[in-house]
Amino acid sequence: MIKSLSIPERQSMLAIVLLFLAISAAMAGLADRGVMSTHGLMAFGILVLLGFYIAGSFYGPDKSKVSKSRYYDDPTLAGVFLSLFWAIIGMGIGVWVAALLYWPDMAEGISWLSFGRIRPGHTTGIIFGFGGNALIATSFHVVQRTTRARLADSVSPWLILLGYNIFCLWAVTGYLMGSTQSKEYAEAEWYADILLVLVWVGYFVLYIRTLARRNEPHIYVANWYYLAFILVVAILHIVNNLAVPVRLTSAESFPVWAGVQDAMVQWWYGHNAVAFFLTAGFLGMLYYFLPIRSGRPIWSYRLSIVSFWGIVFFYIWVGSHHLHYTALPYWAQTLGMTFSVMLLVPSWASAGNALLTLNGAWHKVRDDATLRFMFVAAVFYGLSTFEGSFLAIRPVNSLSHYTDWTVGHVHSGTLGWVAMIVFGAIYTIIPQLTGRKEMIWPRAVEWHFWLAVAGTLIYVVAMWNAGITQGLMWRAYDENGALSYSFIESVKAMAPYYLLRTIGGALFLAGAVLCVLNCRETMKNAQGEATDRPLVAPVGTVEA
């Protein structure tokens, strides 16, 4: 990292680290004892190490001139490894949570291993840690390649990664300590939320500045998706997390929203986290890595436009389908339901576009596990967006809501779509950035693929069965008007499915572990670096 920075860049990096060192020291010292001061201490420790690293190598070798003439891939590599780090943490917690549902007494008496604390650790570790780092890393890669410009500066990518991962760390460790504001996928407390806003604004500015420096006349569609992801997530995050801290020295806060408005804002946020974090961003990934890996042109430019604007417009409306048959007014439910249905075609347009792009490259899909990851991702993307629109229809929702069908649906999206496209992207990026033709263990990629597919299928099918069984048991009455089943009977009926889910999750985790080892070994045996170069205008010429 430090080698690629010039001396002035090192100075500003060090200055910013020192500034945040002071802030985190203040947080550790002034906040009430407990989670907030512990978090201050954590950040302080990380920043001290970083400060020593920068200061220690301050006058070390300076290769910034060479680096400036090339794409800046160091932050991408760092992001990929942070993403894989969080993948193992998040999936590991996931398998633990799944096992806890089958063997509920495992964590008897250990509060920080109990279901309630560790479940948000799983979702945050996966969505933000694994997914978010992968999005940031690949967006840096994609925006540079498709604009033929280097990242706009060399300092802010590192600060974005640093701040973002401190946010993830604060969030996940906070939940383990029992600190949460109880909003799903937004459990982190107010000070962590503020950090994320700072990071996100920096990310947006860097992305826009890089796009502005582009050497291509047009902006490739992948960048639209990444930009929609960055922009809308910022809006969602800020609005949903508006809160008044109880005191500036404590982690607790009051949300500004109350009652059904709070529920509506939360699910407007929650569903658009699915839309703009887990869909738009990863579609950006798909639209870049699928044509690159398959060597085929995007099947239809027009379809990708309609898909983009359709997704961006319709998705924003559909959050209320999470609140069917609740205190939310019926009309808001109807709108959520109908917009969910109208969303289906734009969503499928992208899945179809991806699959048709593979026309003429099916032999590659057969032979190349990396491309197969992307193919399966597109298929699961299509399946889960269809399922999503279907589940949003009110009468269907009355069966599926509150059951494990929802959990199955989410995982067909996260395991089958999000994780698969990330692995496809990683297996494309790592060899390219190490100057290699392929990963060092191609067979491990193959194993990873089949473990991931088997794990996903076992998981999702088990949860479909579980959810439909639950839904039917809960609504069954006998001829005398008495419930046919007690609640505990429906819990007992889940046992085989919960065991299967644990097995499916463990298979998926095993594949991810293979991926980590494979990436590490490939990096160790790097044979060079990326050979493609940005267009650098010769000095003195303004016009291209």
Partner 1 sequence: MKNETDPKELPGADPHTGNREIDPVTGYETTGHEWSGIKELNTAFPKIVIWALIITHVYAVVAWILLPAWPYGNDYTKGLLGLDQGVQAVDNYNQMVSTRNGWLDQFDNDEVLLEGVDEEVWKKAQSAADRLYADNCAACHGEVAQGNLGYPVLNDAFWLWGSDPKEIARTIKFGINSTHEETRYAEMPAFDWLEKSDRSELTQFVVNLRHQDAELSDKGQLLFEENCAACHGDNGLGGLENGAPSLTDSSVIYGQDQRAVAYTIRHGRQGVMPAWVGRLTSAEINLLSLYLSKLGTIKNVESAK
Which residues are part of a known binding site for Cu cation? Answer: 271, 321-322
CB of 215 to partner 1, least distance (A): 11
Of 29, 489, 496, 521, the residue at the interface with partner 1 (CB under 8 A) is: 489
355 contacts partner 1 (rule: CB under 8 A): no
Nearer to partner 1, 349 or 422 (CB): 349
Q: Which stretch binds partner 1 (CB under 8 A): 103-111, 237-245, 286-294, 380-388?
A: 286-294
339 contacts partner 1 (rule: CB under 8 A): yes
354 contacts partner 1 (rule: CB under 8 A): no
* 105 alpha carbon, distance to own chain's centre: 31
CB of 346 to partner 1, least distance (A): 8
Nearer to partner 1, 395 or 540 (CB): 395
The tokens describing 474, both together, are 């809960």
* Residue 360 φ/ψ, nearest 5 degrees: 90, -5
102 contacts partner 1 (rule: CB under 8 A): no
291 contacts partner 1 (rule: CB under 8 A): yes
* 293 alpha carbon, distance to own chain's centre: 22
Nearer to partner 1, 160 or 344 (CB): 344
- 86 residue type, one letter: W
Please tell me the count of residues contacting partner 1 according to CB under 8 A. 56
Does residue 113 contact residue 107 with C-beta atoms inside 8 Å?
A: yes
CB of 341 to partner 1, least distance (A): 5
Of the candidates 330, 38, 23, the residue with the CA atom closest to the CA atom of residue 172: 38
Q: Which stretch binds partner 1 (CB under 8 A): 210-218, 268-276, 400-408, 412-420?
A: 210-218
Q: Distance (Å, rounded) from C-alpha 159 to C-alpha 201? A: 12
* Alpha-carbon separation of residue 175 from 123, 133, 200, 412 (angstroms): 11, 20, 22, 25
Concatenated DSSP letters of 301-317: HHHHHHHHHHHHHHHTT
Q: What is the contact mask toward partner 1 in residues 106 to 145, using x (rule: CB under 8 A)? A: ---------------------------------------x
Nearer to partner 1, 123 or 333 (CB): 333
Residue 336: how many other CB atoms lie within 10 Å? 25
* Residue 439 φ/ψ, nearest 5 degrees: -60, 160
Query: The tokens 């085989």 sit on which residue?
Result: 496
Q: Distance (Å, rounded) from C-alpha 148 to C-alpha 84? A: 27
Q: Which residues participate in the annotated binding site? A: 122, 271, 321-322, 409, 411
Of 485, 513, 517, 526, the residue at the interface with partner 1 (CB under 8 A) is: 485
Q: Distance (Å, rounded) from C-alpha 185 to C-alpha 123? A: 7
Binding site for partner 1 (CB under 8 A): 145-146, 148, 216-218, 220-221, 288, 291-292, 295-304, 306, 325, 329-335, 337-339, 341-342, 344-345, 348-349, 352, 359-360, 477-489, 532
